[in-house]
Amino acid sequence: NAGVTQTPKFQVLKTGQSMTLQCAQDMNHNSMYWYRQDPGMGLRLIYYSASEGTTDKGEVPNGYNVSRLNKREFSLRLESAAPSQTSVYFCASSEGGWAEQFFGPGTRLTVL
């Protein structure tokens, strides 16, 4: 089992460019999450999907969109990247909202 995989591992964008971060899990988990991690600000939830077909906003959803493509995949899209979106992005999945979350290795995004 690969667990939670994320692509790409690193990305540099110019302001205004768009991109999609991909996340997939092979554990048959119901819930999936996108977080961003910034120095001194811990882990902040962007969006989550409690089950296939549903998505909900987290703490910091502005500037992002998500798609729960199927049970395995949950993508995060930046339509018009801004320097404030420079961060490390983590995808996670869990069996349910109460359960242990399994994290991917992260995507390091720099917006110039």
Partner 1 sequence: GEDVEQSLFLSVREGDSSVINCTYTDSSSTYLYWYKQEPGAGLQLLTYIFSNMDMKQDQRLTVLLNKKDKHLSLRIADTQTGDSAIYFCAEKCTNAGKSTFGDGTTLTVKP
Site of interaction with partner 1 (CB under 8 A): 4, 31, 33, 35, 40-43, 45, 48, 50, 56, 58, 90, 92, 97-98, 100-106
Q: Is 61 helix (H, G, I), strand (E, B) or coil?
A: coil
Q: What angle do CA 98, 33, 37 make, to 5 degrees?
A: 110
* Cβ-based nearer residue to partner 1, 7 or 80: 7
Contact 37, 45 (CB under 8 A): no
Collapse the DSSP code of 83 into the 3-class scheme (helix H, G, I; strand E, B; otherwise coil) and give the result.
Answer: helix
Closest distance to partner 1 from the beta carbon of 54 (Å): 9
Closest to partner 1 by CB, 40 vs 53, is: 40
Closer Cβ to partner 1, 57 or 77, answer by number: 57
Tell me the helices (H) and strands (E) count for the chain, helix number first: 0, 11
